[in-house]
Structure formats: structure tokens, C-alpha cells
Amino acid sequence: MSLASNKMFYVSWEAFHRATKELARQLLGQNFNAIVAVSRGGLVPAAIIARELNIRVLDSICIASYNHDQQGSLRVLKDAHLADSEQLLIVDDLVDTGETAKALRERFPKARFVTVYAKPQGKPLVDHYVTDIEQDTWIQLPWDMELAYSKPLVEGA
């Protein structure tokens, strides 16, 4: 999947925060004592979920699978140093093809894996998610966009 697709899904900060809080709501009552955020996309939702569930122990695993707009080979740049357990929560922004999720499931087989967004190929690999996204749709997340001035129609925008 690349930006060559003409299907785009734009996410504002407010929409992302709202969806992530809904994900945290789904996790209420489960006994998590630590979070591993999948860097970079999982850092923001991990912080929101940590706040909402009062989880104080966080680590990150740094995995590169995209080069801006093209999915490439999976590379672990930094591993997380938390023990695998049923009380460990792995958080990412999106599951796409499922390649990152498969690697995380191998590394942390007992942990729960959650994402804010899920595409059909990766959806079976997550325990919880909030929003379905079509496989051929590119998600523009708020940290990848900037607000810009838009000329009024009368000015020939």
C-alpha cells in the first residue's frame, strides 16, 4: 500500500484522542501492569491509554516497516525490555498487513495487542481495536499533517 492509492482517511487530533479513549474503555477492568508502545505510531495512543488506565510502567519497541509512504522489510531498531506476561499490553496505532503484529506476537506471545485502527489483513492479529479501515486506504494521522491556510473560494482557490 502506498500513497499512490486514492483512498485517504484523514484523522484529526481530536478524533484520534476520542478513538484511543474508546480503546482504553474497552480495556477497563483488565489487569495490565505495563505497556510496550510500538514506535513511532504507538507512542501517542500508549500515553493516552497509560493515563486512562493508570499504568505507570512503559517501554517501547522500535520497529521500522515503512519508509514514509511505502511498506518495506521489518527491522527491529530497539527491543523492549519488559517481561512477556498476560499483564503486558502492546499498543500500536494501526495494524495493516499484520507483519509487525506477527513479529510482536512472536516476541510477546502472552501479551495483549491492541491498535486504534485495523485493516482486514491484520485484524485477526489484534485483541482489541476501534475503527475498521479498508485495506487499500492510506491513513493520514495527525502527527503527519500540518494545518495550512485555505483561500476563500471567491479568491479562486
Count H helices, E strands: the chain?
3, 8
Which of the residues 59, 69, 84, 93 is marked catalytic? 93
Chain mean pLDDT for the chain: 92
Alpha helices in the chain (DSSP H): 13-27, 43-53, 99-107
CATH number of 7-155: 3.40.50.2020
Q: Is 59 a catalytic residue?
A: no
Select which of 84, 92, 132, 144 is catalytic. Answer: 92
- Domain layout of the chain by residue ranges: 7-155
**How long a stretch of residues is the chain?**
157
pLDDT tens per residue across span 48-105: 999 999 999 999 999 987 665 556 678 899 999 999 999 999 999 999 999 999 999 9
Q: Which three cell numbers stand for residue 96?
A: 495493516
Is 93 considered catalytic here?
yes
Is 132 a residue of the active site? no
Q: Is 76 annotated as a binding residue?
A: no
pLDDT of residue 4: 54
The answer to whether residues 60 and 37 touch, using CB atoms and an 8 Å cutoff, is yes
pLDDT tier for residue 7 given thresholds of 50, 70 and 90: very high
Q: In this structure, what DSSP letter does residue 155 have?
A: G
Whole-model pTM: value is: 0.88
